[in-house]
Amino acid sequence: MIPWSGRRFITILLALFLLNWLIVAIFAPAEKRIKVPYNPNFVEQVEKGNVKEISSKGDTVQGEFKKSVEYKGDKAEKFETEIPTFANDNQLSQLLTDQDVVINAESPSSRSLLETILFSFGPTILLVALFVFLMRRAAGGGRGGGGVLGQFGRSQAKRVESESQTVTFEDVAGIDEAEEQLVEVVDFLRNPDKYLRLGARIPRGVLLAGPPGTGKTLLARAVAGEAHVPFFSASASEFIEAIVGVGASRVRDLFKQAEEAAPAIIFIDELDAIGRARGGSGGVMGGHDEREQTLNQILTEMDGFDPAAGVIVLGATNRPDVLDPALLRPGRFDRRVFVQPPDSAGREQILRVHTRSVPLADDVDLAQIAQTTPGMVGADLANLVNEGALLAAKRGHDQVQRADFTDALEKIVLGAARKILLSHDDRRRIAYHEGGHAIVGMLTPGADPVRKVSIIPRGQALGVTLSTPDDDRFNYSEDELRAKIRVSCGGRVAEEIVYDEPTTGAESDIQQVTGIARGMVERWGMSEKVGFLAMAPREGQGFLLPGAEPVSEATKELIDAELRRIVDDELDHVRHLLTDNRERLDALAEALLERETLDELDAYAAAGIPREREPASA
């Protein structure tokens, strides 16, 4: 069966219009008729007796000559002319009568019944016939045929054969715990008899959950590559269409294809697009009919196929908390693998994978780069390597050097430098703003070390102060959170101390301070008055959505009061700190105005603050 496409549909449509034109041209051809002047041509031909018959409607006269007449290069027996309003109708009538010209009463523009049908209804009839043809093909498509409408119900999943799978566990690094949990799945697909002989049942579904960019899709492809089985990959959003029932049909077709190719792997990315809890977070008025029908079909298919067939479903999501409980029960996605951001050692392994084909200079230390990139996941590190290689090529280097990686990291974290002209007053104000952040970060216990201070505009910011921890952090104390608030407040407070007025430059700082303080009160129980209670709705839910916990007005007022108390306390602390260290603030601001960018060593030296830790070099 030839696959259907939009180009094929347009070709058939054009062919039908061409056929209609040919039918009209054959059965109702257009008559060749010349248009001649009333006088002298028409009157002269009447006087010569060369006019056989005429018919008229209003002032328009059409007729036929006895012999062909040529006018302006055109020669024909049939003609048309216009009678002037001032012409003598009685004299013309008498002349026509004397020459025995046949005068017909029919309209010159009248058509035969065949012409009327062909011109008026021909295209419509052909279009109706086309759609009848398509409907019949669609009906056949539901039983295994093609058809333009039948294609809507076919799975859009991309199939990759085992011979084309080049990704293996050697290409996956930094997520060893997740990899170890999938080795069993690979072994089952390779040696199913070993498990079936002992009555063991491999999980039908494995859910890969973790933040974006951690390598969930890469891990799924590696499983298929290690097992040497076909790999069916689809995004959950590809199942959803405006027509209810199409998604369920595509799910049925996908599982049917996988069972025919078994052993095989079905990979559904962004599973939360169709797997959200039904009647819950789908909306205020409930769920989406097409999404819920698609979800129901997935549940049915996972219950229906035989585990011994060797079909395993891998699902990936960034938000496992919003999935329907029916998806996670035993017998469906009953194994959950959490793919977490890598630690320093994991980031080093990932960098080694991505730099296999990248020539590195001798001064590049991947372990040190890994230490300076806390929080980055596999996708971020791949982007870092690519940006470093692009910079090296732009600078004409034969190898990627340490400076290339350092500048690429700054571009990713801080943003690309912007060339904008700032006045001296603006540069000085920005220097004090960034200096305020830096001084507070240097003098506050528990704050992340200051790595770089710059007054060069980058991205949306006019200046940047970069602070990163020495080691990966997975848990923060209340004192450390308050230290983050103080550092964020340092820029605004420095402006108030030096200029006695605020500016709009602290917008992002205010947002960060508000977010941390709200988390302390609503999520982490760090307020004595609010207590050990969760006041914020779960992620993905608002207070108006079903299932969200209600909060009284009195509690909301208490939360607002606690937010203000925490922020005001830290603002007061920062004001005293910067007032007492005004000389250090002035010195750092002057150094920034002179050099624009200060690294960790230079920033601490300019501020006259001893460093208690060795800097991590990139």
Residues 470 and 554 in one domain: yes
Residues 225 and 283 in one domain: yes
| Residue 612 placed within a domain | no
Is the pLDDT assigned to residue 258 strictly greater than 50? Answer: yes
Three-state DSSP state, 266:
strand
In this prediction, residue 442 has a pLDDT band, given cuts at 50, 70 and 90, of very high
Catalytic site positions: 434
Nearest to 491 by CA among 515, 469, 522, 461: 461
**Degrees to nearest 5, angle at CA 109 with 41 and 62:** 15
Residues 567 and 592 in one domain: yes
| Residue 490 placed within a domain | yes
Look at the chain and report how many structural domains it folds into.
Answer: 5
Return the CATH number at 186: 3.40.50.300
| CA distances from residue 514 to 17, 488, 489, 507 in whole angstroms, order as listed | 66, 10, 11, 11
- pLDDT mean over 439-466: 88
Strands 464-467 and 231-235: unpaired
- pLDDT mean over 351-373: 89
| CA distances from residue 592 to 455, 463, 471 in whole angstroms, order as listed | 7, 10, 28
Q: 124: how many CB neighbours lie within 10 A of its CB?
A: 10
Residues 181 and 217 in one domain: yes
| Residue 616 placed within a domain | no
Q: Pick the more confident residue, 290 or 280.
A: 290
| Residue 618 placed within a domain | no
Query: What range defines the domain where residue 126 resides?
Result: 6-26+114-153
| Residue 236 placed within a domain | yes
Q: 537: how many CB neighbours lie within 10 A of its CB?
A: 17
Return the CATH number at 568: 1.20.58.760
Nearest to 343 by CA among 318, 320, 360, 367: 367
Return the CATH number at 105: 3.30.720.210
**What is the DSSP secondary-structure string of 290-326?**
HHHHHHHHHHHHHHHS-GGG-EEEEEEES-GGGB-HH
Return the CATH number at 384: 1.10.8.60
**pLDDT per position as a tens digit, 101-147:** 777 765 544 555 555 665 556 666 766 776 666 666 555 444 444 44
Nearest to 151 by CA among 241, 230, 70: 241
Output DSSP code: residue 398: S
Contacts of 272 (CB under 8 A, 6+ apart): 236, 317, 318, 319, 320, 322, 323
- pLDDT mean over 247-255: 79
Residues 243 and 274 in one domain: yes
Amino acid letter for position 183 = V
Residues 177 and 256 in one domain: yes
Residues 103 and 235 in one domain: no
Q: Which of 128, 153, 178 is the last residue of a domain?
A: 153
| Residue 614 placed within a domain | no
Q: Which of 153, 172, 206 is the last residue of a domain?
A: 153
Residues 349 and 306 in one domain: no
Is the bond leading into 263 cis (omega within 30 degrees of zero)?
Answer: yes
Residues 163 and 309 in one domain: yes
Mean pLDDT value across the chain:
79
Q: Which of 303, 338, 373 is the last residue of a domain?
A: 338
% of the chain residues with pLDDT over 70: 78
Residues 298 and 348 in one domain: no
How far apart, in whole angstroms, are the C-alpha atoms of residue 294 and residue 610? 62
**pLDDT per position as a tens digit, 510-552:** 999 999 999 999 999 998 888 888 887 665 454 444 444 567 8
| Residue 617 placed within a domain | no
> Which residues sit opposite 474 in a β-bridge?
none
Amino acid letter for position 242 = A
Residues 304 and 164 in one domain: yes
Residues 96 and 228 in one domain: no
**pLDDT per position as a tens digit, 154-190:** 666 677 776 677 787 887 887 777 878 888 778 887 8
Is the pLDDT assigned to residue 65 strictly greater than 80? Answer: no
**pLDDT number for residue 564:** 94
**pLDDT number for residue 119:** 59
